[in-house]
Amino acid sequence: MTISPELDKKADEAISHSPAEHKRAASLPLLHLLQHEFGYVSEDSVKWVADKLGLEPINILELVTFYPGFRQSAPGKFHIRVCRTLSCAMAGSYELMESLCKATNIDRSNTTHHNPIAVSPDGKFSIEFAECLASCGTGPVCMVNDDFHESIKPAEAAKLVEDYRANA
């Protein structure tokens, strides 16, 4: 794992946001930086963050395993999060999930609570259910990487996937 000088500088900037004696507060920001750079949080990333903040690796690993926003394995190039919670489910998010899986050729049958992400055979897409994405009035909603998509009818799922595939 190579940390570029730019990334290291961004990490220092994040650390500067809290008083010097409380730099542990930069744990989540640093994990976000590394996940953004490498796609997931590896064992090396955990060690790097711990070293950077003067902590034990377990102090960082326990965050990665707790917070649903951090992943320990590589997602697809486009990572899809479908809102599973009540208002979106009432608006059809389970059907949306089914349509997206079909369009991306993803099999979710082996996912579990601790391993919620399924990746497509070509590695281009991955998918998981997310809990309430806070756009209950425009359900069903999903995110593709940082892009937000609302009121997606299950029938529109294939087009959404094709649009990303075309840009891959």
Phi-psi region of 28 (alpha: psi -120 to 50; beta: other; left: phi over 0): alpha
Core vs surface per residue 113-138: b (16+ CB within 10 A) or e = eeeebbbbeeebbbbbbbeebebeee
Say if residues 40 and 74 touch (Cβ distance below 8 Å): yes
58 part of the interface to another protein, by CB under 8 A:
no
Shortest reach from residue 90's CB to another protein, in Å: 6
Give 2 or 109: the residue with its C-beta nearer to another protein.
109
Give 2 or 21: the residue with its C-beta nearer to another protein.
21
According to DSSP, residue 39 is labeled: S
Shortest reach from residue 27's CB to another protein, in Å: 3
Q: What pairs with residue 78 in β-bridges? A: 125
Interaction with another protein in 105-144: which residues (CB under 8 A)? 108, 113, 129-139, 143
> What residues make contact with another protein under the rule CB under 8 A?
17, 19, 22, 24-29, 31-32, 53, 59, 62-63, 66-70, 81, 84-87, 89-95, 97-98, 108, 113, 129-139, 143, 146, 148
